[in-house]
Amino acid sequence: MSTLRQALLGIALVGVLGLLLWVQQLRVDNAVTAAGQAKDDARTARDDARSSQANANTLQQALVNERDAQAQLRVQQDQLRQGLAKRERTIEELKRENSELRDWAAQQLPDAARRLRERPAFTGASAYRQWLSGRGPMPPASDKPKQ
């Protein structure tokens, strides 16, 4: 019986070794699959990083352009303020020098011109749009406004 037992133990040992080899092969296959997935994930992450970097560079350039445009607008605004101040000084000097101009400037605006300058306080763009659309048509240029 000892040979039969040895044969059975040998067969059991070969079976256990075969089972171990099969389990190990499954683990190796799983590791290879996981490594391939990890490579794909890394490639996708690199592509996403490149895309994000390109977007960041584009946004950075847009920010630089926007700041340059704002600086130019500030310079232009300062120039316009200086020009306006100069015109106002010129008008005041002319008023001091010319009595006809001073009398003309002291008069009230005609009704038609005054109506153009009148507008209610608006609470938003829609209120302004409603006010504009609710106004009557402009009179033709040939009509003389009543004074």
Q: How far apart are the first and last CA of the chain?
A: 136
CA distances from 27 to 8, 20, 21 (A): 28, 10, 10
5 or 73: which leads in pLDDT:
73
pLDDT tens digits for 2-59? 888 888 998 999 999 999 999 999 999 999 999 999 999 999 999 999 999 999 999 9
| pTM attached to this predicted model | 0.46
Sketch the domain layout of the chain as residue ranges.
Answer: 2-106
Q: Could you give the CA distance from residue 26 to residue 15 in angstroms, rounded to a whole number?
A: 16
Q: What is the pLDDT of residue 37?
A: 95
Q: What is the mean pLDDT of residues 55-69?
A: 97
Joined together, the tokens standing for residue 60 give: 């950075």
